[in-house]
Amino acid sequence: MFPVARAAQSLVARGIQHTAVRQAHRQHGPTFHDKYGTMVLLAGAAMFSTVWGYVLTQLKMEWGFSPVGRITPREWRE
């Protein structure tokens, strides 16, 4: 291997090792997701259910999509 490539490779490897050691010794505090993740998920599910519950119960929707028996043809006018 060329000396320049070997030096670059060792610098990259050393940087990765330093990063791994630094992260392993770091004190991990609770993140936003650790603190509030469940509450945000439950609030989103409640909001989703409330909005769709309103939409499905208050809008005047016709639930039978088949037009068979509902549409009668008009007489053809010439």
Locate 47 and state its tokens: 């909001």
Is residue 61 in some structural domain?
A: no
As for how many domains the chain has, the answer is: 1
Which range marks the domain in which residue 14 is found? Answer: 1-54
Total length of the chain: 78
Is residue 1 in some structural domain?
A: yes
Is residue 25 in some structural domain?
A: yes
Phi-psi domain of 48 (left: phi exceeds 0; alpha: psi -120 through 50; beta: other): alpha
Is residue 60 in some structural domain?
A: no
Is residue 3 in some structural domain?
A: yes
pLDDT tens track for 19-58: 777 766 666 778 888 888 999 999 999 999 999 999 888 8
Is residue 10 in some structural domain?
A: yes
Better pLDDT: 48 or 74: 48
User: How many CA within 13 A on the CB side of residue 45?
Assistant: 6
